[in-house]
Copies of this chain bind each other. A is one copy, B any other.
Amino acid sequence: MDQKSLLELLKQVQKGTVSPESAVQELKKLHFSDLGFAKVDHHRELRKGFPEVIFCANKTPEQVAAISVKLAEQTEGNILATRADREAYRQVAALLPEAEYHELAKVILIRRGIQEQRGHILVLSAGTSDLPVAEEAALTAEAMGNKVERIYDVGVAGLHRLLRYQDSLLAARVFVVVAGMEGALPSVIGGLVDKPVIAVPTSVGYGASFGGLAALLGMLNSCASGVSVVNIDNGFGAGYQASLINRLGG
């Protein structure tokens, strides 16, 4: 039952050709009502605070460009495309010249209008090889209107490097902590701070890291409270979750 036939039904109620009781019966027949959802769908930006993100992994550059343009017409917010290669960027930029490309994170970001910055998500990474994932998280959070600080290469084998950043650790409201190998950094951060920590295991490592499984299990078994975990290499997911959290305090 679409909007039009609903209106038709209601007009018949108005005219008296259908009784209210019959109309209730009619509406009850809807097993899966799509009334409200349709509206929500047109207002997805309001409902989730951010337009659809483009996950480019299985899309051609042409598809990415086409979707970008379509989203740019439908929304006034930022547009984010993750796992995008340089060719996808080239085709997007030909149509939307304001697009930025972040090579390390493989992210295309189209910043639009001026966004009030909400304060302070801190993204940390254990090693330099974790940077692509950390940057994906950081750029996602920026695209969603957050202030983001980055502290990279502060793995647990060199704790003193981490401990220099006391002020940043105390100032942040939400933490995204990215680590491969044994994935211990979120536990250390979780023990130092009293704010939510989103842990991101990366597939960095070799041998018995099993593509990030070691880091994932390490983070799930963290002895520190206040740590939750997203999928391996899911920088976007962590940045998104951190943004939802940070927005609560807005």
Stretch in A85-93, A108-116, A225-233 touching the partner: A225-233
Number of A residues near B (Cβ < 8 Å) is: 111
- A13 lies within 8 A of chain B by Cβ: yes
> Is A24 a contact partner of B36 (Cβ separation < 8 A)?
no
Residues from 1 to 39 in A contacting B, C-beta threshold 8 Å: 3, 6-7, 10-11, 13-14, 16, 19-21, 23-24, 27-39
CB pair A163–B221 under 8 Å, yes or no, is no
Question: Which residues on B sit within 8 Å (CB–CB) of A160?
Answer: 34, 36-38, 40-41
Cross-interface CB contact of A217 among B213, B227, B238, cutoff 8 Å: B213
Give Cα distance in the complex from A6 to B28, angstroms. Answer: 10
A24-B10, A250-B249 are known contacts. Are A159 and B30 too (CB-CB below 8 A)? no
**Does A71 have its Cβ within 8 Å of any Cβ on chain B?**
no
- Cβ of A38: which chain B residues have Cβ within 8 Å of it? 28, 160, 164
A65 on the interface (CB 8 Å rule)? no
| A182, B181: Cβ atoms closer than 8 Å | no
Closest Cβ of chain B: how far from A73's Cβ, in Å?
20
Q: Which residues of B contact A217 (CB under 8 A)?
A: 182, 208-210, 213-214, 217-218
In chain A between 162 and 216, which residues have their CB closer than 8 angstroms to a CB of chain B? Answer: 162-166, 169-170, 173-174, 181-184, 187-188, 190-192, 194-196, 198, 201, 203-216
Expressed in whole angstroms, the minimum distance between the Cβ of A105 and any Cβ of chain B is 15
Shortest CB-to-CB span from A71 to chain B, Å, is: 15
Residues of B contacting A40 with CB < 8 Å? 31, 160
Interchain CB contact under 8 A, B24 and A7: yes
Contacts of A244 in B (CB 8 A): 194-196, 226
Residues in chain B near residue A249, CB distance under 8 A: 248-250
A14 neighbours in B (Cβ, 8 Å): 13-14, 16, 19-20
Select which of B53, B188, B215, B231 is within 8 A of A206 by beta carbon. B231
A246 within 8 A of B: yes
Residue-wise interface mask of A (55-80) relative to B, using a CB-CB cutoff of 8 A (1 in contact, 0 not): 00110000000000000000000000
Besides A41-B160, A182-B223, A229-B230, 12 other CB < 8 A contacts?
Answer: A31-B37, A37-B159, A127-B223, A157-B225, A182-B218, A182-B221, A184-B184, A188-B188, A206-B231, A209-B217, A228-B230, A229-B229
